[in-house]
A and B are shown apart, each in its own frame.
Chain A
Amino acid sequence: MVDGDDRSERRDPATGAGWVDAPPRMGFFTDTSVCIGCKACEVACKEWNGVPTSGLDLLGMSYDNTGALTANSWRHVAFIEQPRPAGDPEASSAGSQFLGMPEPGPPGRTGSAEGRSDFRWLMMSDVCKHCTQAGCLDVCPTGALFRTEFGTVVVQEDICNGCGYCVSACPYGVIDRRVDDGRVWKCTLCYDRIGAGLTPACAQACPTESIQYGPLDELRERAATRVATLHERGVPEARLYGHDPDDGVGGDGAFFLLLDEPEVYGLPPDPQVPTRDLPNMWKRAGVAALAMAAGAVVAFLGGKR
């Protein structure tokens, strides 16, 4: 959908993709303020979807040994350690810093004030955003990626030929090619489960309701209420990410409540779907093609020999 600026299509990508009488658009609201970093979502996702292991890999940077969303990790719990108190109203983005391997007690509790440091943990379960204007879907040359009736974006593994274009087109770095398999894989928002009226595996497994599944309109209302509550309670840094239908990807089907800048969690601060500029790109290519043809004509007519 190059210029999918048609109002109804932006609000409801399923209708824009040709579904008739589509059910309401479904999505995830991931509230990172209640995430405890248990990774039940990662495990439930792997179990239900039969996602292969990515092997034992200790990254040595935090409790996060998954590292990123990949073909073999469709949920990824980011784990950020920051040397400052939680809920500090003066808090500005400080990035992440590894504070050492865990001890029986919290870091810094030595029995005396000596060497004691304040810090906070940020945890966030990342997932495919199921964009309203999805770069992966736009550039897929085989039609393997498609828009479901729920407004989500899913790969058909019997069609994908592993061209890898979607991998480079995703502004979030989500979709990925599986090395030993050659095809691309990502979160399907449990297309099989939601079609049968079930909750996706990760949301079902989440013990704190950090991952909430439901109709997107409802989730957006709930998220706005939650941000207001947090602001009232003295957490001014709470903000929503990916909820805005006017952002560079037309809003995400899976959006987040964050407690710091997006890049601290490994998210792009202002993602844009690459195909937004596609009409201009073709224009520039057209000009270049004309220049090329003209160059050849000049070469043959520009001299005697």
Chain B
Amino acid sequence: MSSQRPPVGERFRRFRDRRDAGLTVPPAEFTSYYGRPILKPPVWTWEIAAYLFTGGLAAGSSLLAAGGQLTGRPAVRRAGRVAALAAVTASTGLLVKDLGRPERFHHMLRVAKPTSPMSVGTWILAAYGPAAGLAAIAEVAPLLPRRGPLGLARRVLPPVGRVAGLAAAATAPALGTYTGVLLADTAVPSWHEAYPHLPLVFAGSALASGAGVGLIAVPPAQAGPARRMAVVGAALELYGAHQLESRLGLLSEPYRTGRAGWLLRAGRALTAAGVAGAVLAGRNRSVAVLSGAALLAASVATRFGVFRAGVASARDPRYTVLPQRERLERRRAGETPQR
């Protein structure tokens, strides 16, 4: 009788569980202190994950703007500059808000410490922010009156904006990738071990989100570079994320399971959809806008996924103890023959 057959949802769940069971590393024996975490999970909240996105968006948009500026595509330049200013403003707000003592944010500017990626990032932002801001402000020049003091600004702003736009683009790659080091330079197992891959994921995600801005705000006739940037960014992002999910042994598990795994899978699907839309039907304005939105959403999902995977790896003592035990045993095995 067909009623003996479990409902389709149940069958799917069983299929998925069987498939996942083949992927995961079998549970290894380890001891812990009553199962309590050894590490402190990051005290950073959603603001930092959101900043990973807005910082990358700013970087990608500035590169887009500079490209538009240098190749004579004013619509691309304008969209990129405006998006960059909005994103860097949001970034600063998010970073200050996440501090335990927001009124002391300027204490970051007391020192410049190469051993602290956060200090390096502070100075990258300090260089990038004003340049990106100036470039965006220069876009109001055509709206100013021709005469009087504002007329002077109308003449001075465009060249200032060109220099500022190039300065922002020059610092943008640093802004888009240092966040990978920011996460990796911690004791959080799945972030630290991912240090060879995180900057690449974030670079790709930044390019893809910048391309998303171009697809949304630029008429398709000028958006060719944005479409190609989407392809390049998506390729880097997908390749990097695949490394995270497959190359870290046990520490890849948090990137594949739970909420983090769901977010990264969603990010991948949205990236694929966005790129496909842009490449196949990007000359249709509505499709271009939808594709751009998909790329932006993909970047958000990827950043939150990576962030959550790290938090999950710090919460479970398994991810602290087992890889360290393995490392110890490898070292001991290497030492024994010498004795």
Task: List A residues at the B interface (Cβ < 8 Å).
Answer: 1-2, 61-62, 67-68, 78, 80, 93-96, 98, 135, 138-144, 159-165, 167-178, 181-184, 261, 263-271, 274-275, 277-278, 280-282, 284-293, 295-300, 302-305
Q: How far is the CA of A291 from the CA of B332 in the complex (A)?
A: 39
B197 contact set on A, CB distance < 8 A: 284
Q: Of residues 79 to 121 in B, which have CB atoms within 8 Å of A's CB atoms?
A: 98-102, 104-105, 107-108, 110-111, 113-119
Q: How far is the CA of A268 from the CA of B326 in the complex (A)?
A: 12
Confirm or deny: B327 has a beta carbon within 8 angstroms of a beta carbon on chain A: yes
- Check B33 against A170 for contact (C-beta < 8 Å): no
**Most central of B30, B104, B314 by chain A CB within 10 Å:** B104
**Most central of B63, B174, B185, B232 by chain A CB within 10 Å:** B185
Q: Mark B192-224, 1 if CB is under 8 A from A, else 0.
A: 100111011011101100010000000001101
- Check B100 against A61 for contact (C-beta < 8 Å): no
Q: How far is the CA of A270 from the CA of B329 in the complex (A)?
A: 10
- Check A284 against B33 for contact (C-beta < 8 Å): no
- Check B229 against A277 for contact (C-beta < 8 Å): no
- Check A274 against B187 for contact (C-beta < 8 Å): yes
A269 contact set on B, CB distance < 8 A: 321, 324-325, 328
- Check B40 against A263 for contact (C-beta < 8 Å): no
B122 contact set on A, CB distance < 8 A: 141
Query: Which residue on chain B has the smallest CB distance to residue A305?
Result: B224
Partner of B100, one of A181, A287, A304: A181
Confirm or deny: B1 has a beta carbon within 8 angstroms of a beta carbon on chain A: no
Q: How far is the CA of A295 from the CA of B237 in the complex (A)?
A: 12
Q: How far is the CA of A294 from the CA of B211 in the complex (A)?
A: 14
Q: Of residues 37 to 54 in B, which have CB atoms within 8 Å of A's CB atoms?
A: 37-40, 42-44
Segment with Cβ contacts to A, from B8-16, B147-155, B175-183, B244-252: B175-183
Instruction: Report, as a range, how many residues of chain B touch the other chain.
Output: 35 or more
- Check A288 against B177 for contact (C-beta < 8 Å): yes
Confirm or deny: B289 has a beta carbon within 8 angstroms of a beta carbon on chain A: no
Q: How far is the CA of A29 from the CA of B114 in the complex (A)?
A: 33
Confirm or deny: B320 has a beta carbon within 8 angstroms of a beta carbon on chain A: yes
Q: Of residues 157 to 178 in B, which have CB atoms within 8 Å of A's CB atoms?
A: 169, 172-174, 176-178
Query: Which residue on chain A has the smallest CB distance to residue B62?
Result: A296
- Check B232 against A164 for contact (C-beta < 8 Å): no
Contact flag A177-B100 (CB < 8 Å), given A168-B188, A284-B180, A291-B236: yes
Interface of B is mostly: helix
Confirm or deny: B226 has a beta carbon within 8 angstroms of a beta carbon on chain A: yes
- Check A171 against B115 for contact (C-beta < 8 Å): no
B99 contact set on A, CB distance < 8 A: 161-164, 182
What's the minimum C-beta distance from A100 to chain B, rounded to whole angstroms?
A: 15
Confirm or deny: B277 has a beta carbon within 8 angstroms of a beta carbon on chain A: no
- Check A281 against B42 for contact (C-beta < 8 Å): no
**Most central of B116, B117, B236 by chain A CB within 10 Å:** B116
5 new A-B contacts, CB < 8 A, other than A164-B43, A182-B99, are A160-B107, A270-B324, A274-B192, A277-B184, A284-B195
B116 contact set on A, CB distance < 8 A: 138-141, 165
Q: How many A-B residue pairs have CB under 8 A?
A: 261
- Check A144 against B200 for contact (C-beta < 8 Å): no
- Check A167 against B40 for contact (C-beta < 8 Å): yes
- Check A288 against B185 for contact (C-beta < 8 Å): no
Q: How far is the CA of A172 from the CA of B38 in the complex (A)?
A: 7
Q: How far is the CA of A263 from the CA of B39 in the complex (A)?
A: 12
- Check B111 against A275 for contact (C-beta < 8 Å): no
- Check A302 against B185 for contact (C-beta < 8 Å): no
Q: How far is the CA of A165 from the CA of B99 in the complex (A)?
A: 10
Confirm or deny: B225 has a beta carbon within 8 angstroms of a beta carbon on chain A: yes
Q: How far is the CA of A287 from the CA of B39 in the complex (A)?
A: 30
Partner of A143, one of B32, B34, B111, B202: B111
Q: How far is the CA of A267 from the CA of B317 in the complex (A)?
A: 10
Segment with Cβ contacts to A, from B64-72, B132-140, B261-269: B64-72
- Check B185 against A169 for contact (C-beta < 8 Å): yes
What's the minimum C-beta distance from A254 to chain B, rounded to whole angstroms?
A: 16
5 contacts between A and B (CB under 8 A): A95-B32, A165-B118, A182-B101, A268-B324, A291-B236
- Check A300 against B225 for contact (C-beta < 8 Å): yes
What's the minimum C-beta distance from A162 to chain B, rounded to whole angstroms?
A: 2
Q: Of residues 18 to 46 in B, which have CB atoms within 8 Å of A's CB atoms?
A: 30-34, 36-40, 42-44
Query: Which residue on chain A has the smallest CB distance to residue B115?
Result: A138
Partner of A299, one of B115, B195, B225: B225
Contact flag A142-B108 (CB < 8 Å), given A266-B38, A285-B178: yes
Q: How far is the CA of A222 from the CA of B208 in the complex (A)?
A: 60
Query: Which residue on chain A has the smallest CB distance to residue B118?
Result: A141
- Check A288 against B180 for contact (C-beta < 8 Å): yes
Which 6 pairs, one residue from A and one from B, show the smallest C-beta to C-beta distance? A162-B100, A182-B100, A266-B33, A288-B199, A161-B104, A289-B173
Confirm or deny: B254 has a beta carbon within 8 angstroms of a beta carbon on chain A: no
Partner of B105, one of A144, A161, A173: A161
- Check B232 against A298 for contact (C-beta < 8 Å): yes
Query: Which residue on chain B has the smallest CB distance to residue A95?
Result: B31
Partner of B101, one of A68, A95, A160, A165: A160
Q: How far is the CA of A284 from the CA of B211 in the complex (A)?
A: 23
Q: How far is the CA of A78 from the CA of B192 in the complex (A)?
A: 27
Partner of A1, one of B115, B192, B203, B328: B115
**Most central of B115, B180, B192 by chain A CB within 10 Å:** B115
Confirm or deny: B274 has a beta carbon within 8 angstroms of a beta carbon on chain A: no
**Most central of A62, A167, A171, A265 by chain B CB within 10 Å:** A167
Q: How far is the CA of A80 from the CA of B42 in the complex (A)?
A: 27
Confirm or deny: B55 has a beta carbon within 8 angstroms of a beta carbon on chain A: no
